[in-house]
Amino acid sequence: MDNIIKTIFGRLSIESLPIHEPIVVGTFLGVAVGGIAVLALITKFKLWGYLWKEWFTTVDHKRIGIMYMILGIVMLLRGFADALMMRGQQAIAFGDNQGFLNSHHYDQVFTAHGVIMIFFVAMPIITGLMNYVVPLQIGARDVSFPYLNNLSFWMTAGGVVLVMASLFIGEFARTGWLAFPPLSELDFSPDVGVDYYIWALQVAGVGTTLSGINLIATIIKMRAPGMTMMKLPVFCWTSLCANVLIVASFPVLTATLVLLSLDRYVGTNFFTNNLGGNPMMYVNLIWIWGHPEVYILILPLFGVFSEVTSTFSGKRLFGYTSMVYATIVITILSYLVWLHHFFTMGSGASVNSFFGITTMVISIPTGAKIFNWLFTMYKGRIRFELPMMWTIAFMLTFTIGGMTGVLLAVPPADFVLHNSLFLIAHFHNVIIGGVLFGAFAAINYWWPKAFGFKLNQFWGKVSFWLWVIGFWVAFTPLYIMGLMGVTRRLHHFEDPSLQIYFVVALLGALMIAGGIGAFLVQIGVSIWKKEELRDVTGDPWDGRTLEWATSSPPPDYNFAFTPVIHELDAWYDMKDKKAEAPIEGYRAIHMPKNTGTGVIIAGLSTAAGFGMIWYMWWLAALGLIGVVVVAIWHTFNYDRDYYIPVEEVVATESERRRLLGQGA
C-alpha cells in the first residue's frame, strides 16, 4: 500500500502542508476566501465563456499585453508582502527578540521576494508594455507569431502558478534569488524548495524566450512602409535590444538550471563541492545570464522615458541617433561585465581590472541618455503630467543609483561593500528608480490608449509622492548601514544601535505600501469615473508616434490602412502636414483566429513541472507527452485565420470619424 501511495503522490504528504506556520495558514485562508469569491462572481455573472473566448484564447497583442500587465501588478502585491515581512522582522529582531520569522521561514521569504520581483513582476510588466505598444508604433496589425504570443503569456503564468503553489504545498528555496550552490545542492537543500525554483523558472523561461523571438521578428519584418530602422521610435529600438538580450541570455539560464537539475535528480557533480564539481562555474553561468537580465529590464523603460520626455516637452527627442547608438553599445557591453557581481571570488587583479573598467565604461552611454533627456526638456514647453513626473523622479533617483553602481565597480571598494546592505540599497535604487518608476510612467501614459479614458490625477499624485519619498526613507538607512559594514541576508542582529535604522527603513516600506494602495485606488476611481475622464480623440497627450493615430482603444485590426512613413515621429509629421486618413476604399482585413492551444500546453507544462518537483513521475511523463501531442495536433490545425468583413471596418471607421467631429 505504501508503495502505491508513494508511486501516486511521490514526496507529497500531509507533512508537506505548512499547517504549523500560522502566517502561512492565515495567508492561505485569505487567498482561498478571495479566490472563491472571485470564482463565484465570475460564475454568477456568467463570464466564463466571455473570458475564455475574448481573453484566455486571444492572440490579439493588445489583450495579451494587458494580461501580462495585470499578472505583473498582482504579483507585485505578493512580492511586496514578502518585502514588508522582511522589513518588519529586521526592525524588531534584536538581542533576545527573535522576531516573528524563524531563520528557515525568513530565508524562503527573501528568496521568494527576489524571484517574484524580477521574474514575475518586472518581466511581465516590460513584456506587456512591449506587446501592447510595439506593433502600434511600427504600424503593424499584430506581432509576427500571434499564437506564439498567447503561448508565451500562459507559460509565464504557469511559472507563477508553481511559485504560488510553493507557499501552500511544501516550501520554497532558501538559497537567495539566484540559488547558488552548494546551498542549492541536495546536501544542503534536500527538500522541494529548489525544485520549485528550477521548474517555475524553466516553464516561465520558455515563455520569455519565445516572446523575445516573436518581438525581434515583429520589429525587423513588420514595420510600415517607409519606416527605416533610423525612423523607428526609440521605444521600439530599446525593445529590440532588450529582446536580443533575452534570446542571447535566457538559453544560458535554461542550460544552467538543467545542469543544476542533473546534480539534484541524477547525481552528477557539475556544481558540487566534491567529485570534480565547481560551485563557481554556476556563479559565472548564472551571472552571464543575470547581468544582461538587468538591462533587459531597464532598456525598454529607457524607451518609455524617451517617449514621455519628447511628448511632454513638445519637442523631437534630442540626439535621436546618439540615443540609438548608446542603446546598442549598452546591449553589447552588458555581456562583458558579469564578473563584477563576484569580484570577491579571488579571480586576480587582471580579471577584476578588466571587469571593473568595462563596468565603468557601460555607465557612459547610460549617462549620455540622461543628457539626451535633459536637452530634450531644455527650452521645451514642459507639461508636468504624471508620466513626466515619474520620468523626472527616475532621472534623480537613477542617477544616484548609477553612481553607487560605479562605486561598486571599483574592486577594492567592492571587497568592503559586496556583502553589505549597501549593495541591497544600490540594486533597489536602480530597479525601483528605473524599472518600477518607468512602469508607472508607462501605465499613466498609455492607459488612455488601452482603455479610452485617462487615469485619475489626484490618486496618481498621492501614489507618486508616497513612492518617491518612501523609497528614500526605506533605502537611505541601508546605504548608511552598508557603509558601516552591516551584513546583508540576516534575519536577526545583536547590535541594538542599528535598530533605529531598520525602524526608519520599515517606515519607508510602509509609505511605499501606501503608494501601491493609492495606485490601486487610482485605477478603481478612474474606472468608476471613466466617463469624466473619457478621451475620444485617441491622442490625449498630443503624441508623436503612430499608436496615437488610432482610436482609443484601438480596433482589433489597429489600422484600417497601413500607414506610410516619411519622417521620424510619424504621427507628429502627419499632423503637421495635415494629412488625412482615406474615407473610402476599405477592404476586408485578414486576421489570426483565437486558439486555446497555448492555455492547454502551458497547463500541461505546469503539471509536468509539479510532477518533477514532487517525484510524481507519472504526472511529469503525462504532462510532457501531452505537450508533445498537443503541439503536433496544433500543426494540423489549418483553420487559423478569418477576415473582418469590409462592412464592419467601414462602420468602425465611420464611428471614429463621428467621435472626432469629422462627419460620418
Give yes or no for residue 31 having a pLDDT over 90.
no
The type of residue at 31 is: V
Give yes or no for residue 272 having a pLDDT over 70.
yes
pLDDT class for 663, splitting at 50, 70, 90? low
pLDDT for the residue numbered 147? 95
pLDDT for 38-83, tens place per residue?
999 999 999 999 999 999 999 999 999 999 999 999 999 999 999 9
* 69 Cβ contact list (under 8 Å, min separation 6): 124, 125, 128, 129, 132, 443
C-alpha cell at 26: 492565515
> Cα(623)–Cα(632) distance, rounded to whole angstroms?
14
More confident residue, 252 or 661: 252
> Cα(283)–Cα(291) distance, rounded to whole angstroms?
12
> Cα(205)–Cα(190) distance, rounded to whole angstroms?
24
pLDDT for 500-537, tens place per residue?
999 999 999 999 999 999 999 999 999 999 999 999 99
For 627, left (φ over 0), alpha (ψ -120 to 50), or beta?
alpha
List 453's β-bridge partners, or say none: 534
pLDDT for the residue numbered 10? 85
Residue 636, φ and ψ in degrees, nearest 5:
-95, 5
C-alpha cell at 258: 538543467
pLDDT for 326-352, tens place per residue?
999 999 999 999 998 888 888 889 999
What CA–CA distances, in Å, run from 510 to 84, 109, 247, 432, 503?
A: 8, 18, 38, 15, 11
> Cα(120)–Cα(286) distance, rounded to whole angstroms?
18
Task: Give the residue-averaged pLDDT of 3-15.
Answer: 86
pLDDT class for 393, splitting at 50, 70, 90? very high
pLDDT for the residue numbered 448? 97
Of 51, 54, 18, nearest to 193 (Cα)? 18
For residues 217-238, b (16+ Cβ closer than 10 Å) or e, as one string?
ebbeebbbeebeeebbbbbbbb
pLDDT for the residue numbered 275? 87
Percent of the chain residues past pLDDT 90, beyond the cut: 88
pLDDT class for 292, splitting at 50, 70, 90? very high
Give yes or no for residue 466 having a pLDDT over 80.
yes
pLDDT for the residue numbered 305? 98
pLDDT for 311-323, tens place per residue?
999 999 999 999 9
pLDDT for 617-644, tens place per residue?
999 999 999 999 999 999 999 989 999 9
Which position has the grid cell 540615443?
323
Task: Give the residue-averaged pLDDT of 443-472.
Answer: 97
What CA–CA distances, in Å, run from 642 to 4, 161, 592, 594?
A: 50, 33, 6, 10
Give yes or no for residue 373 having a pLDDT over 90.
yes
pLDDT for the residue numbered 304? 98
> Cα(103)–Cα(88) distance, rounded to whole angstroms?
14
- Mean pLDDT for the chain? 94
pLDDT for 76-106, tens place per residue?
999 999 999 999 999 999 999 999 999 999 9
Q: Quote the DSSP letter at residue 641.
A: E
pLDDT for 175-200, tens place per residue?
999 999 999 999 999 999 999 999 99
pLDDT for 124-180, tens place per residue?
999 999 999 999 999 999 999 999 999 999 999 999 999 999 988 999 999 999 999
